[in-house]
Amino acid sequence: MNLLSQLIAIIYPPRCHICGRFLSADEDRASSHHLCDDCLGALTPITHPICTVCGLPFSTPKGQDHPCENCLRKKPWYDSVRAPYLYSGPLMEAIQRFKYSSETQLTSSLGTLLSSFAKELVPNPQDFLTVPVPLHTRRLRERGFSQSLLLAKVVATDLGTQLDYRSLIRIRHTRAQTGLRKEERRKNVKDAFSVTYPEIIKGRKILLVDDVFTTGYTLNECARSLKKSGATVIICLTLARTLVD
Ligand SMILES: [Zn+2]
Ligand SMILES: [Zn+2]
């Protein structure tokens, strides 16, 4: 630590980005995500066996990963979705604050949790193009930032992949998926996305990044546009996922 960072640490001692408590020296040294041990311990990692396609964790703790009934019945456009944690507890609160209260200082913490997971998961990440799930320009103006782009930037930097936030766009302003019933959610995002630069997407493997997986309709619609433009493989990464769709 140089003198300047020592001075900054005295004036502004590092705090946990989720709960705000001061980090101990050990926690600060160990934590690239600026989270305290209590908040890290309260995260609920998703454990195997899971669906090999949509990543749904099965209730039985035994057995191998395999496709779930939904994915067998109708194969999604994406190849797989993976999330490190369940959407619950302090992580759910942090994601909601990140998204709806513009607490963008959470970017590095949440982004690092996702990129550490992605490093273990994605072989040869340099072959992939990282693409965030886009917001419509109207929503972007209201919110002022895109949470999936902020996460995708951290993932792309940490994995050494190219970031592309221009090719996939949202062409239809849609209602927020929150509060909609399942069938309404599917209709709400139908044909909502388009690829403006198919020549960039053609023949590429894609890491598609979003904050939370719920029904998967949004990711599936994005994946449909990307596959129709010639993407070869689509791995979706979300920070958290719900248990029921
Ligand atoms: Zn904390
Ligand atoms: Zn599945």
The pLDDT tens digits of the residues spanning 149-183 come to 999 999 999 999 999 999 999 988 777 777 777 77
> What six digits make up the tokens of 49?
């066996």
How far is ligand 1, taken at its centre, from the CA of residue 147, in Å?
21
Nearest alpha-carbon partner for 215 in 56, 79, 72, 96: 56
Provide the whole-model pTM.
0.90
Please give the residue range of the domain that contains residue 29: 1-41
According to the model, what pLDDT value does residue 193 have? 93
- 63: CA distance to ligand 1 center in Å? 34
Residue 11 sits in the same domain as residue 23: yes
Task: Give yes or no: residues 115 and 219 share one domain.
Answer: yes
Task: Tell me how far the alpha carbon of residue 215 lies from the centroid of ligand 1, in angstroms.
Answer: 29
Shared-domain flag, residues 105 and 160: yes
pLDDT given at position 245: 56
CB 167 within 8 A of CB 196: yes
Q: Do 27 and 131 share a domain, yes or no?
A: no
* Ligand (nearest to CA of 70): 2
Q: Do 36 and 148 have their domain in common?
A: no
User: CB neighbours (10 Å) of residue 27?
Assistant: 19
Do 30 and 142 fall within a single domain?
Answer: no
Q: Does 105 share its domain with 158?
A: yes
For the chain, how many structural domains are there in total? 2
**C-beta of residue 128 within 8 angstroms of C-beta of residue 206:** yes
> How far is the centre of ligand 2, averaged over its atoms, from the C-alpha of 173 (Å)?
28
* Same domain assignment for residues 113 and 192: yes
CATH code assigned at 163: 3.40.50.2020
CA 220 – ligand 2 centroid, Å: 12
pLDDT tens by residue, 82-122: 999 999 999 999 999 998 888 888 999 999 999 999 999 99
